[in-house]
Structure 1
Amino acid sequence: MTIGRGLKWALVAQVVLAVFLVIADIDRSWIPRVGSQPPLPSGPVSPGDQVRRYDPSRPHPEFTDRPDRPPIDLPSEFPARLEFSMVDAADDTRVLLLNGPINSGDSERFTNYLAGMNTPPETVALNSPGGVVSEALSIGRGLREAEANTIMLPGMICLSSCPYMFAAGQNRHVSRTAALGLHQHYYETPGYMPVFLAVEGIQYGQGQTLEYLIEMGVNPGLMVYSLNTPPEEIYLLVEEELLQTQLATEMIE
């Protein structure tokens, strides 16, 4: 075989490999599913009926049992990324509100925000559909370092990776009309990475999350609910699960 022919076949092999990796990286939502999927229920959850469709664009999903508006005036849509602001909650209590999806770079922004405060916040309220897991863990460690408490106020949501930020509170109060939910996570793995390396990266990310939960004093068994729930769905935790896993230290009205 000549050098020219060898280079030609090497090029062909690279093209075939590239095509294979592109096909492997196609979002599974493009692949038609055989048979119809039964529709998920809507409305507030109850024990044994806790899986709902995950829609990160909706700040007020149907599964939140909201007799009233949240005590904080929230916009009708989520911002483009996580926002931080001091707001008045019930009984003229000032809290630091984290509102919106968690994107790359938000942990650094949050660190800078905390550094610019005259005094660390005593209580942090959350309202987020989740986002990048590693950013949520980093923000959570910043909250724990600041010795802040976390709270879920009535009518607010904390989904996907958001509960890991919530887990960082010294005391963690959850309103019975708030919603905390988990599902399988996506970890940052390059699209060109071979499958076995991508799986290794996912397992490493899950290990980091388990280590984080133990660090925060939360039962790592909490991960069972996320690992068993597809990413297009969300598993809403009920009061017993919140307390048993120690994700919540106290339920409030």
Structure 2
Amino acid sequence: MAEMAVLGMREVFISGPITSGDADRFVQFAESHKLEAARIVLDSPGGSLLEGIKLGRAIREKRFFTSVGAFDDQGTSSNAICASACAYAFAGGVSRFLDRSSGRLGIHQFERSGGLSQSEAQLISAIVVSYLRDMGVDAKAFVIASATSASGIRWLTPSEAQELGLVNNGVQPTSAEVRIVRLHPYLRLNQDKSSGTIRALFTCGKGTLLLQAGIVTDPEQSALFGDARWQKRSYLEIDGRETAVVNGPAGAKPEDSAVWLFRVLDSKQAADLLKASELGVWIDGFGAVRAGGSMDLKPVRSEIADYFKQCLSSYVRR
């Protein structure tokens, strides 16, 4: 690792080939600078594959973000590259950013000076595929890399990298789980984004579906968004269509690091949610400003349908 620098205790720039011991040096660097949240900006032609994976796991353990760029980038584009082993370090970011103004992200076959035996190649392949799966990356990325000679580089466009899951631009897949409080089950949906988190809690109440929808940021932001002097109205959006609108400051309440909208859903709203691709949670302020965000429902449709069916089987059909 030729150079490591930190800017404003928020961005860490790593450049140069990835060599043995870099992951440990990175951890020491992060701990000595007391980094609790950071974006790791990479500019490397590659190097040791296994060290790149180790570095990626260290980045993921710290819950840091990654992007491709250089410390001296200027203007609207970057000449930085993150190739070969660097791409695996990049995959360690919880949020992984790449766009047309970023540097380039490239993959290819792994190799070792002197060659690899068949058993060695199989072992390393298994390590790489397992790592990609753990990082939430499609194993197809390994197939594409394997089809590219070790002497060449397959440069991925931002859209290709996003399709493979190598890039998420700060948006995590929506998760769903049923939890139990005081013997009552509820469905918890959660989607993390670099700008904040959208959360939805569905509970049953005597044949009624209750929704507690939250904008999770930090105590300062939630206090601002939930301030009665700022709120004009609050509402949900189901596939972009407004519903459950409450005018005035009574529709959203701040609590610690979140602002919550409490709504009782009718049968039409429940049925619409079963078919929806997106749920938005919004608060309009005075002026042309609104706070909130949207949640992707496509990955959790089956969990929503199962919970709704059990809760409201009298009028909601799968």
Q: What is the TM-score normalised by the length of structure 1?
A: 0.59
What residue number does 1:12 align with?
A: none
1:103 matched to which residue of 2?
19
Figure out how many residues of one structure are paired with residues of the other and give that number: 161
Bigger proportion of residues as strand = 2
Runs of 4+ in 1 over 4 A off after TM superposition: none
Aligned match of 1:180: 105
Structure 2, unmatched stretches of 5+, are 70-76, 171-318
- Mapping of residues 1-253 of structure 1, within 5 Å: 81-87=1-7, 94-153=10-69, 154-155=77-78, 156-177=80-101, 178-187=103-112, 198-250=117-169
Letter matched to residue 164 of structure 2? T
User: CA offsets per residue over residues 169-226 of structure 1, 9 Å max, x none?
Assistant: 11111131321111111247xx5xxx8x722112111110110010011111101221
State the Cα RMSD in Å. Answer: 2.1
Greater relative contact order structure (CA < 8 Å, 6+ sep): 1
Q: Which deviates more, 150-159 or 161-170?
A: 150-159
Matched position secondary structure for 1:250: coil
Conservation of the 8 A alpha-carbon contact between 2:52 and 2:85: yes
Query: Hey, what does 1:16 align to over in structure 2?
Result: none
- Give 1 or 2 for the bigger CA radius of gyration: 2
Distance across 2 between alignment mates of 1:227 and 1:148: 28
State percent identity of aligned pairs. 30
Q: Which runs of 5+ in 1 are unaligned?
A: 1-80
Task: Tell me what 2:212 maps to.
Answer: none
Distance 1:132 1:161 in 2: 6
Kept in 2, the 8 Å contact 1:163–1:182? The answer is yes
Residue type of the partner of 2:5? S
Contact 2:56–2:89 (CA<8 Å) still a contact in 1? yes
Higher helix share: 1
Partners of 2:48 and 2:132 lie apart in 1 by 16
The letter of the residue matching 1:161 is: A
Matched position secondary structure for 1:175: coil
Residues in 2 aligned to 1:82 and 1:214: alpha-carbon distance in whole angstroms: 29
CA contact under 8 A between 2:97 and 2:168: conserved in structure 1? yes
Quick one: distance in 2 between partners of 1:94 and 1:240?
26
